[in-house]
Amino acid sequence: MIYIFVALAVSFVATLVVIRAHLARSRHSDQLPSAACSRRARDLPMHGLGRTGGIGLAIGLSVSLAARAFDDAPYAMSSARIGLLLLVSAAPVFAAGLVEDFTQRVSKEVRLGAALISAALAGWLLGAWIVRLDVPMLEAGIAVPVVSVLFTCLLVAGLTNAFNVIDGFNGLAGGVAALILLGIAYVGFKVGDVALVAAALTAVGAIAGFMLLNFPRGLVYLGDGGAYLLGFWIAVLLVLLVGRNPEVSPWFPVLLCAYPVCELLFSIYRRGIVRRVHPGLPDLAHLHHLIYKRLVRWLVGTGLPAHRTQRNSLTAPYLWILTSVGVAPAMVFWKTTAALQIGAAIFAVVYLYAYARIVKFRAPRWWVLRKPGQPPRRRPEQQ
């Protein structure tokens, strides 16, 4: 357990150093007029050092895993080896995300290519390949090595990008990742895979150190690099968990990660098929954006910066609850494929139902946060 707290403490300190560097940079705008200075200080977190919370995560993981490598306790070396090789494998996609955070000039294709390279590295270094699906019609295909390699790289890269898609508000991606990692640790404990339990909980510790400064005040953001690192870490741990433990159903990762997976797939459908634009183009129509604009804004409705930050932070708990709708049954039925498949289908229906109700301004009143004594809002057709 000590290494979890090491990851937390180091991640916290490293993130704090990033924040101080960010604040020092903002002081260089003192020569600007006061209005321009305040605008610039408010916008700084959106790029550069303000978006490099992933640096704290990476340093926290690295120090904790390196310290564990010198421990003579049972399984310490194996867990340190898996974690350090995971970090090595994550280097391409983490670097691509970090460069994007600073420059905003790394194309979507380059970042996707980096994710594929990282997935291939993890497969080579750790043997993290998908070799079973528990779907009779697909088992023969996945048994072909080339198909297994391509399928693994696509799925790992997809889940890696899914966490970047949901990284939109304070505490959102970090909280979702922590819940999923706790699910991985629980099932790893049930099957006795100590190394994977340690890798998952170490990441939870690093996330906690970052979250202390990210949520609720938003002093630093996760950024593309941090989101990619968390998504990749989770994806590879899930591939290893299923591959190393035959009793774990291959559908456990599907239900466990149902929220980010649904968000990614529905975003591709909404952009590529409905709007007929490039699926990788950003927009403001994700579920978390709708929650921010149509649910929590009724609690704090002014445009003051403090109120915007408060609304921002109130968005993440909605999605933490939604994530738990997938994580909780996945932890219960982790070895029952049929139950996991049914659970994944139900989650998809719940996601689409919630999205449709909110986008049509028909969300139930108990979904909407309001100030005490504030009257219910009127729907557009009632106004």
pLDDT the model gives residue 42 = 37
Angle, helices 108-126 vs 76-103, to 10°: value is 170
pLDDT at 186 over 70: yes
pLDDT the model gives residue 301 = 57
Residue with more model confidence, 296 or 247 = 247
**Average pLDDT, integer, range 227-233:** 97
pLDDT tens track for 20-74: 887 777 666 544 444 444 344 334 444 556 778 899 999 999 999 999 988 877 7
Q: Which residues contact 51 (CB under 8 A, 6 or more apart)?
A: 45, 101, 220, 221, 222, 223, 224
Residue with more model confidence, 20 or 349 = 349
The owner of tokens 């999923």 is 180
**Average pLDDT, integer, range 105-117:** 94
**Average pLDDT, integer, range 291-316:** 75
**Average pLDDT, integer, range 298-324:** 79
**Average pLDDT, integer, range 219-242:** 95
Residue with more model confidence, 129 or 306 = 129
pLDDT at 304 over 50: yes
Report the half-sphere exposure of 81 (CA within 13 A, side-chain side): 9
pLDDT at 241 over 90: yes
**Average pLDDT, integer, range 220-230:** 93
The average confidence (pLDDT) of the chain is: 87
| CB atoms closer than 10 angstroms to residue 5 | 13
**Average pLDDT, integer, range 185-202:** 95
The C-alpha atoms of residue 62 and residue 130 are separated, in whole angstroms, by 26
The C-alpha atoms of residue 309 and residue 217 are separated, in whole angstroms, by 7
* Residue 114 pLDDT class (50, 70, 90 cuts): very high
pLDDT the model gives residue 18 = 84
pLDDT the model gives residue 274 = 84
Q: What is the pTM of this model?
A: 0.90
The C-alpha atoms of residue 124 and residue 126 are separated, in whole angstroms, by 6
Q: What is the per-residue DSSP string for 57-108?
A: HHHHHHHHHHHHHT--STTHHHHHHHHHHHHHHHHHHHHHHHHHHHHS---H
Percent of the chain residues past pLDDT 90, beyond the cut: 61
Q: What angle do CA 214, 10, 76 make, to 5 degrees?
A: 125
pLDDT at 275 over 60: yes
Angle, helices 2-26 vs 53-69, to 10°: value is 150
pLDDT tens track for 71-95: 877 788 888 999 999 999 999 999 9
Residue with more model confidence, 301 or 1 = 1
pLDDT the model gives residue 44 = 42
